Amino acid sequence: MNLATVAAQLPDGWAGRILADFGCVRMKLFKADAAGLAEEMHCDWDEAILMLDGELVLELDQVPVCLKAGDFHLIPRGVRHRILPGCRGSFILLDPEPVA
């Protein structure tokens, strides 16, 4: 599977696709939208973002972190986070969000 090809096939706007579930981790591919994403927090799990292309600003407890293609960032459990408006590109999200 070529992740760039799969990301390019996602519709415009915030769009995602589950790529795999392994162990207790879900791997998702997202295509970012300039609108950003609202703040959230997970008390029970960490999340990890791996940027494939483009750029986004992740805000962690009100501290901005700029992520570009190739960057990896771990979002620790209990940290409020959001994606600020103006982003573009695609990324992989790894999290142990409960898998049904």
pLDDT in tens, 7-29: 888 887 777 888 988 888 889 99
Q: What is the pLDDT of residue 91?
A: 93
- Range 74-92 average pLDDT: 93
Please report the beta strands in the chain, taking only residues with DSSP state E, as ranges in sequence order: 15-22, 25-32, 37-40, 47-60, 63-68, 72-75, 81-83, 88-95
* 78-92: average pLDDT: 93
Q: What is the pLDDT of residue 68?
A: 96
What average pLDDT does the chain have?
89
Higher pLDDT, 35 or 97: 35
pLDDT of 98 reads 61
Sign of CA dihedral 51, 61, 19, 89: negative
Residue 97, both tokens: 């969000």
pLDDT at 69 over 90: yes
